[in-house]
Amino acid sequence: MRFVLLLLIFGYVANASAQNRYFTKSGKINFYSKTSLEDIEANHRSVSCVLDTKTGAVQFAVLMKGFEFRKALMQEHFNENYVESDKFPNGAFKGEVINNSSINYQKDGTYPAQVKGKLTIHGETKDVSTTGKIEVQGGKIQLLSDFNISLSDYKISVPAVVKDKVSQTIQISVDCLLEPLK
């Protein structure tokens, strides 16, 4: 009887914990490099993201080869020379929503969010802090954020012959629509 009671309590706690988690496997991340000579844009349509609304813990994961460029040569250079995606196939962010307690995930609305964590690209991990928006609508949660990164922070080197065509500061835009993880 005691064993059954323990099992019931465990099941309730586990279930309650799972309902705090929201996820997507088709989030979007775009990055943008702007110079006087050329603008380069890449889109990712299969970003994985998990948010724990109770703790504010948030994680993102991408396959670097999933970034799509309009021009094949740019995509090949990106994978082979810049991010070396065969050696470093994954990009990831692991962090938290610092002001999580001020966000009411049970009430539809748009909430400003402050996020900090560790971003890993090209095998290099750096601390990142940024702001964004959390939009709660109809049981779903949308995470939106724009921030910049420096290529040098992630030891991404641009060949001298194209250095005027690739910005050292890359603009990143995140847009992930999360659903409850059941």
**Site of interaction with other proteins (CB under 8 A):** 21, 23, 25-26, 28, 45-46, 48-50, 59, 61, 63, 65-66, 68, 70-73, 75, 86, 89-90, 181
Q: How far is the CB of 28 from other proteins (least distance, A)?
A: 8
In contact, 22 and 179? CB cutoff 8 Å: yes
State which residue, 76 or 102, has the beta carbon closest to other proteins. 76
Q: How far is the CB of 59 from other proteins (least distance, A)?
A: 6
AA letter at 118: K
Q: How far apart are CA 133 and CA 149, in angstroms?
A: 19
State which residue, 90 or 150, has the beta carbon closest to other proteins. 90
In contact, 96 and 76? CB cutoff 8 Å: no
23 sits in the region (left: phi over 0; alpha: psi -120 to 50; else beta) called: beta
State which residue, 26 or 102, has the beta carbon closest to other proteins. 26
Neighbours of 40 (CB within 10 A): 19
Q: How far is the CB of 18 from other proteins (least distance, A)?
A: 9
Q: How far is the CB of 3 from other proteins (least distance, A)?
A: 26
State which residue, 4 or 14, has the beta carbon closest to other proteins. 14
The sign of the dihedral angle between the CA atoms of 85, 87, 90, 94 is negative
State which residue, 153 or 175, has the beta carbon closest to other proteins. 175
Hey, what's the torsion of the CAs at 150, 125, 145, 163, to 10 degrees?
20
Q: How far is the CB of 87 from other proteins (least distance, A)?
A: 11
